[in-house]
Structure 1
Amino acid sequence: MLQSYIPLFPLEIVIFPTEKVNLHIFERRYKQMIHDCMRGDRVFGIVSSLNGEIKYGTTVLLKSINKVYNDGRMDIQVVGQRVFEVEEFEQVKHSREYPAGLIHYLPNDMVVKEDQVMELKEQITEFFQALEMVGRVGFNQQPQAFGIGHYLGLSIDQKYALLQLQQETERQEFLIHHLRETIPVARQFNESKRRIKMNGHYKYFDLGDDFRPNEGQHEN
């Protein structure tokens, strides 16, 4: 089991491996952490701090510092690397102000089933068609769950659950199940949008006295 002791940044977000994320750094301790990372290997861990739990997260590579403000705040971009579990969390790293901890990396079995891959591709295509987003979001010929997961409308709790799965087959099945439930909702939503658009002048219709607001109520 591979372990590392790294700086940790607890945030109420989930970052997947390969995902690029922009962050605004404003607390003194995390500005210190970024400066230390720049002098080192540019790697730190983002722990998904959800429901009072600090347990799972993703190491990220500091790709760029896009802007530095006069007061030292920074806009940075990071890219996710590997999923980890926290073994020991320290609120302060020795003489530094920011947290750190001992982590171990979760196994990542990338073996896939061809029939499952095909079903996932079909479900993804149907999802984007339902949202009328075909052509706006692309994926490669063999989509990986972490690579496509942040495009599929997962809740933060669903993302956190997906992050902890250690086999690609499990992750793909998780996404297939989510898409089976989500696609009908997306279709219904777009159908409602079309109906509203077709009846775009409804607010000018005289619906009669029975539909007028009562005295003292505000009309939207």
Structure 2
Amino acid sequence: MSDRDADLPLFPLGIVALPGEEVPLHLFEERYKELGAQCIADDREFGIVLVDDDGPRSVGCAMRVTEVLQQFDDGRMDIMTRGTRPFRVVEEHHRHAYASAEVEFLDDASESLDHDAAAAVRQAYASLATQATEHDVAPADLAAASAYDLAASVEFSAEAKQQLLESRSENARLRQLLALLRSALKHLEFADLAKVRSASNGVVRFE
């Protein structure tokens, strides 16, 4: 049975975070200033969930505050957070100024890694990174990276990232990511590489 948290603080946003992804946040609303202060004080996770035209999604990513970048006198703060693990909302609560929920943390299915798919993803990612950022990726870094790790460094659409987050199979994520990377490479064939590189700041951006 998956682990659960009976009262995980929730931060609904128009973005999707992935495990391992670093996400900077500016907390200015009173409820989220309270959420941030509580999570920092208790060294506990909170959850980012995507909210779009379809409403809030049931699967999100737990986050941990890794650094307080700046704190203001009125309680506003700039923080750096990092994704830890996916979860599914079981029941939402309204016990605090911010939303929270009972959640179950999601495990991957037990399976043998599809090495052919992994190799194809690494090759496509290396090609994309070289073309879009002019930086080569070390083979050792690629070999150690999961589908989440690689996807977190490419700015795909929220829907594409949500599909990766909801998948409970690393092999399925690799196949999804390979299709996304190949589409991004095709996009580069018609893009102004100079503009792509100047805007990348080390992150490959594709919608």
Q: What TM-score, normalized to structure 1?
A: 0.78
Q: Do 2:70 and 2:79's aligned partners in 1 also have CA atoms closer than 8 Å? A: yes
Q: Percent identity?
A: 27
Is 1:105 the equivalent of 2:108? no
- Pick closer, same or farther for the CA change 1:136–1:107 going to 2, 3 Å: closer
Q: Which residue of 2 aligns with 1:74?
A: 77
Structure 2 residues without counterparts, runs of 5 or longer: 196-207
Is 1:134 the equivalent of 2:146? no
Is 1:18 the equivalent of 2:41? no
Structure 1 residues without counterparts, runs of 5 or longer: 194-220
1:9-44 deviations in Å (ceiling 9; x for gaps): 111111111111110000111111122222323211
Task: Note the C-alpha offset of 1:190.
Answer: 3.7
How many residue pairs get aligned? The number is: 190
Amino acid in the other structure paired with 1:178: L
Q: Do 1:111 and 1:167's aligned partners in 2 also have CA atoms closer than 8 Å? A: no
Is 1:8 the equivalent of 2:10? yes
Greater length-normalized contact order (CA 8 Å, ≥ 6 residues apart) = 2
| Structure 1 vs Structure 2 CA RMSD | 2.2
- Return structure 1 stretches of 4+ with deviation > 4 angstroms: none
Task: Note the C-alpha offset of 1:133.
Answer: 2.6
User: Structure 1 residues 69-78 or 146-155, which shifts more?
Assistant: 146-155
Is 1:115 the equivalent of 2:113? no
- Cα distance in 2 for partners of 1:105, 1:191 equals 40
Q: Which residue of 1 aligns with 2:38?
A: 36
Alignment of 1:168-183 (within 5 A): 168-183=170-185
- Pick closer, same or farther for the CA change 1:137–1:187 going to 2, 3 Å: farther
Q: Do 1:88 and 1:103's aligned partners in 2 also have CA atoms closer than 8 Å? A: yes
Bigger Rg, structure 1 or 2: 1
